[in-house]
């Protein structure tokens, strides 16, 4: 079955960096777009970024553009989110999700990893 | 950016009730609309894609409809496990955007 397991969250000071990872299993990883979605405490869902199966097509939300970088290692079935210049408003649970083969919307989600940006 | 507006923001209902949540896009999105369910402390769960297609494993009491700018999610007979927050999402254009959520509570 499809499994997505995120890691790498934690407490970081404003201006700091963090790298999130998501390890996938149960499907042919390189066939699928993958997405990062976040949720600030008590708030709604916010799309962050997606990346195509080959890594050649990438998009970001304006709120993270220039600070966050999404990448993937298909050999290791892993998705990454490098987060630099972190701000308090980046505090959130970050979810890794697999997009449907024929649509840019998730069909499977990871359990999430909490990122807290605070001094 | 395409704005997604859900209504109501919260809803109280009883087991067995039929409920409908609506989602309006600020511009036409064809049928590029998905619905998600989220329970407290848990990851979202995908329910519907392409406005009306049920994700595998989702009970048939859930249904979606709409096209263009106006969409709805209907639960035909509420079950105890359906009390949760529901989000719509447009994926017609980037940035992909979500509605603010509808909290469905037990009356």
Query: pLDDT per residue over A42-84, tens digit each?
Result: 999 999 999 999 999 999 999 999 999 999 999 999 999 999 9
Q: Does B101 reach chain A within 8 Å, measured CB to CB?
A: yes
Residues A111, B43: C-beta atoms closer than 8 Å: yes
Which pLDDT belongs to residue A103? 87
Measured distance CA(B5)–CA(A109) in Å, rounded: 23
Best of B91, B92, B93 to substitute, by most chain A Cβ atoms within 10 angstroms, is B91
Local confidence band at A102 (pLDDT 50, 70, 90 cut-offs): confident
Chain A CA closest to residue B44: A109
8 Å CB contact between B44 and A104: no
Using DSSP's 3-state secondary structure scheme, residue A119 falls into coil
CA dist., res. A34 & res. A97, Å (int) = 6
> Is the pLDDT confidence value at B56 over 90?
yes
A65 touches chain B (CB under 8 A): no
Confidence class for position B58, pLDDT limits 50, 70, 90: very high
Length of chain A: 119
For chain A, give the percent of residues with pLDDT over 90: 97
Q: B74 near B24, Cβ under 8 Å? A: no
Q: Label residue B72 by pLDDT band (50, 70, 90).
A: very high
* Among candidate residues A35, A40, A65, A74, the one with its CA nearest the CA of residue A51: A35
- What is the rounded distance in angstroms from the CA atom of residue A59 to the CA atom of residue A92? 20
Residue B105 clears pLDDT 90, i.e. is over it: yes
Query: Facing residues of A23 across strands?
Result: A5, A78
Alpha-helical runs (H) found in chain A: none
Instruction: Calculate how close chain A gets to B50, using CA atoms only, in Å.
Output: 8
As a whole number, the mean pLDDT across chain B is 97
Predicted local confidence at residue B107, as pLDDT: 87
């Amino acid at each position: 079955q499809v499994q997505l397991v995120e890691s790498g969250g934690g407490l970081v000071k404003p201006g700091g960096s963090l790298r999130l990872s998501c390890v996938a299993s149960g499907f042919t990883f390189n066939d699928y777009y993958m997405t990062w979605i976040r949720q600030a405490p008590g708030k709604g869902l916010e799309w962050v970024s997606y990346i195509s199966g080959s890594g050649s097509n990438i998009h970001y939300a304006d709120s993270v553009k220039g600070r966050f970088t999404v990448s993937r290692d298909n050999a290791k079935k892993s998705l990454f989110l490098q987060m630099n210049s972190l701000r308090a408003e980046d505090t959130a649970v970050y979810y890794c999700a697999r997009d449907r083969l024929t649509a840019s919307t998730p069909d499977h989600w990871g359990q999430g990893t909490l990122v807290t940006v605070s001094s | 950016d395409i704005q997604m507006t859900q209504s109501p923001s919260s809803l109280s209902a009883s087991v067995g009730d039929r409920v409908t949540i609506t989602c309006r896009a600020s511009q036409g999105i064809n049928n590029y609309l998905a619905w998600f369910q989220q329970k407290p402390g848990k990851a979202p769960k995908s329910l519907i894609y392409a406005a009306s297609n049920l994700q595998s494993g989702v009970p048939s009491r859930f249904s979606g409809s709409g096209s263009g700018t106006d969409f709805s999610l209907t639960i035909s007979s509420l079950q105890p496990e359906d009390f949760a927050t529901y989000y719509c999402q447009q994926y017609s254009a980037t940035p992909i955007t979500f509605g603010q959520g509808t909290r469905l509570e037990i009356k």
